[in-house]
């Protein structure tokens, strides 16, 4: 079972715990679990850790070759590096620099060949290539989407 994630990067510390519990509940007991994530700060990394916690394999999709250097902030670097080290596979999109085209390609990769998607989403996203756009793309391709936004969740 291949499950990908999309979600908000700017979730509060309290929300991290709430989302982690909810995602573990969704994933626990899933046979042959492979989780696909871009491991960005917030929802992507929480999902990736939950996949590993329940014994699944992690596949990482990076939008560009410079993603770590250009986009990973110092306070997220240790978590990012730890997830890369534990990933069964790391796929880097064919872009030198992180930007809109690279993110859109990564979003397509999150939808291709998956059985489900988890969206950590408050349904308030209007950004191009944001969470709502990825949910719409998944649904357009017939991918079932589980929305996770537990009671008490908030964006920073």
List the one residue out of 87, 97, 3 whose CA is nearest residue 39: 87
Among 138, 142, 139, which Cα is nearest to 111's? Answer: 138
Q: Domains of the chain, with CATH numbers? A: 2-148 (3.40.50.450)
Q: Is the pLDDT of residue 57 over 90?
A: yes
Distance between CA atoms of residues 10 and 23, nearest Å = 17
Mean local confidence (pLDDT), 109-123: 96
- pTM, entire model: 0.95
pLDDT band at 130 (very low <50, low <70, confident <90, very high): confident
Pairing of strands 116-120, 2-7: parallel
């Amino acid at each position: 079972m291949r499950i990908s994630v999309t979600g908000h990067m700017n979730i509060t510390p309290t929300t991290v715990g709430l989302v982690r519990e909810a995602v573990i509940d969704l994933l626990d007991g899933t046979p042959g679990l492979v989780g696909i994530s871009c491991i960005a700060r917030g929802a992507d990394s929480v999902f990736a850790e939950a996949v590993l916690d329940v014994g699944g394999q992690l596949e990482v999709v990076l939008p560009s070759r410079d993603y770590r250097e250009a986009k990973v902030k110092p306070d997220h670097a240790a978590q990012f590096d730890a997830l890369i080290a534990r990933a069964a596979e790391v796929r880097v999109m064919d872009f030198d620099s992180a930007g809109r085209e690279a993110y859109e390609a990564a979003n397509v990769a999150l939808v291709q060949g998956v059985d489900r998607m988890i969206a950590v989403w408050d349904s308030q996203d209007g950004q191009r290539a944001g969470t709502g756009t990825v949910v719409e793309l998944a649904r357009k391709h017939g991918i079932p989407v589980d929305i996770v936004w537990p009671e008490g969740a908030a964006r920073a």
